[in-house]
Amino acid sequence: MYMTRLSVNINKIATIRNARGGNNPDLVQVAKDCERFGSQGITVHPRPDQRHIRYDDVRELKKIVQTEFNIEGNPLDRFMELVLEVKPEQATLVPDAENAITSSAGWDTIKHQSFLTEIVAELKKNGIRSSIFVDPVLAQIEGAAKIGADRIELYTEPYASHFHKNKEKAVEDYVKCAFLAKELGLQINAGHDLDLHNLAFLKKNIPHLSEVSIGHALICDALYLGLENTIQLYLRQLI
Counts of helices then strands in the chain (DSSP H, E)? 11, 8
Report pLDDT digits (tens) over 26-43: 999 999 999 999 999 999
From 35, 68, 153, 192, the catalytic residue: 192
Burial of 79 (0-12, 13-18, 19+ CB in 10 A): buried
Q: Which residues are 154's β-sheet partners?
A: 134, 190
Side chain identity, residue 16: I
State yes or no: cis peptide before 25, omega within 30 of 0.
yes
For 164, phi and psi rounded to 5 degrees?
-75, -15
Active site residue 216: no
Cβ-based neighbours of 175, under 8 Å, separated by 6 or more: 205, 206
Annotated active-site residue 142? The verdict is no
pLDDT at 191 over 60: yes
pTM (2 decimals)?
A: 0.95
Of 45, 52, 68, 153, the catalytic one is 45
Question: 3-class SS at 64?
Answer: helix
Q: Is pLDDT of 1 > 90?
A: no
Residue 45 designated active-site = yes
Burial class (CB in 10 A: 0-12, 13-18, 19+), 33: middle
In the chain, what percentage of residues exceed pLDDT 70?
96
What's the whole-number mean pLDDT along residues 131-138?
97
pLDDT over threshold 70, residue 111:
yes
Q: Which residue has the higher pLDDT, 49 or 121?
A: 121
Provide the pLDDT for residue 100: 55
Can you give the pLDDT at residue 103? 58
Instruction: State the average pLDDT over residues 128-156.
Output: 98
CB atoms within 10 A of CB 77: 7
Query: Tens digit of pLDDT for each residue in 165-182?
Result: 999 999 999 999 999 999
What the chain holds in terms of domains, given with CATH numbers, is: 5-237 (3.20.20.70)
Residue 30 has a pLDDT of: 98
Which pLDDT belongs to residue 72? 97
Which residues partner with 9 through β-bridges?
Answer: 43
Amino acid 48: pLDDT = 86
Maximal C-alpha separation, the chain: 48
Q: Which of 68, 72, 153, 211 is catalytic?
A: 72
Average pLDDT, the chain: 96
pLDDT score, position 134:
97
pLDDT at 208: 96
DSSP reduced 3-state for 33:
helix
Summarize pLDDT for 53-106 with one digit per residue, the tens. 999 999 999 999 999 999 999 999 999 999 999 999 999 999 986 665 555 689
